[in-house]
Amino acid sequence: MSDSGEYWFCLKHHTVEGEDGCRNADRLGPYATQAEAARALEKVEERNDEWDNDPAWNDDEDLED
C-alpha cells in the first residue's frame, strides 16, 4: 500500500490509504501502521473527550457573567 511506511485515514472514503491517496486536506495522518490509521476516528473522539473534560482547558465557566 505505502512504500514510505506511512498511512493516512481518508475522511472522504473512510479507508486507509498510502502516500498516493486523496489530498491531505481530506485525510488524517500520517500514521506508522495501517492499524493505527484505521483507528484514526476513534483516536480523534478519545482526544476530544479528554480535552472536553480537562479542567485546564475547560474555561466555559469564565464566560458566565
| Cα dihedral 3→36→53→24 (10° resolution) | 30
Span 41-63, mean pLDDT?
A: 83
**Strands (E) located in 1-65:** 7-10, 15-17, 27-31
Please say whether the beta carbons of 29 and 37 come within 8 A: yes
CA-closest candidate to residue 44, choices 27, 21, 65: 27
Between these two residues, 62 and 16, which has the higher pLDDT value? 16
Ordered by start, the domain boundaries in the chain are 7-54
Question: Residue 49 has what pLDDT?
Answer: 93
pLDDT in tens, 11-22: 999 999 999 999
How far is Cα 10 from Cα 4, in angstroms, rounded to an integer? 17
Higher pLDDT, 57 or 9: 9
pLDDT, position 39: 97
